Amino acid sequence: MIEKALTSADVEFVTTLHGDEPVRFHVLLQPRGEQADRLLRAIDDLAIGAVEEAVREGETPEGEEARSEGERALEVSLAALRAAGSTADGRLIEDHPLDALKSLVAEVGADEVIVLTDPHYVEEFFHRDWASRARHKVGVPVLKLFSHSKA
């Protein structure tokens, strides 16, 4: 589960987690739009000293614009995983990301879930981030990783 396009460092990281074992990736991407409260994102930015980022939170695309960016991010991520030699498919999700994740885990018989996002300090502190909530919902191990670049 991701919230933006994977960087080359992210791709290298996730594709080497299991050594030479063949891995198939089923990627779910939810665009940043309305799923995360702007105030929480701004507080996260301030916590790491990124004042300019906090000010720009109001510029985060929502609605159809977020969907278009999400579709492009998903295409880029899948192409990068495939170029690294992995099998990958994915889909954009708009509502209830954890329900979609639980359904996908059951549908494909996933062995584990990787949640790769930017740090969300406020949500993590209260265990309301995707990884913390997924651990109680999906029935397989959940690995939480931080993206190698800020969105």
Give pLDDT tens digits for 105-141.
999 999 999 999 877 766 666 666 878 889 989 999 9
Terminal Cα-to-Cα distance of the chain (whole angstroms)? 15
> Looking at residue 50, what is its pLDDT?
65
Q: Is the pLDDT of residue 151 over 50?
A: no
pLDDT at 39 over 60: no
Nearest to 3 by CA among 110, 124, 111, 131: 131
Res 74 pLDDT > 60? yes
Nearest-angstrom CA–CA distance, 14 and 19: 10
Q: What is the pLDDT of residue 103?
A: 96
- Residue 15's alpha-carbon distances to 85, 92, 142, 143, in angstroms, are 9, 21, 16, 14
Q: What percent of the chain has pLDDT over 90?
A: 50
Exposure on the CB side of residue 44, measured as CA atoms within 13 A: 20
SS3 72: helix
Calculated CA dihedral for residues 116, 101, 68, 57, nearest 10 degrees: -50
When the pLDDT of each residue in the chain is averaged and rounded to a whole number, the result is 82
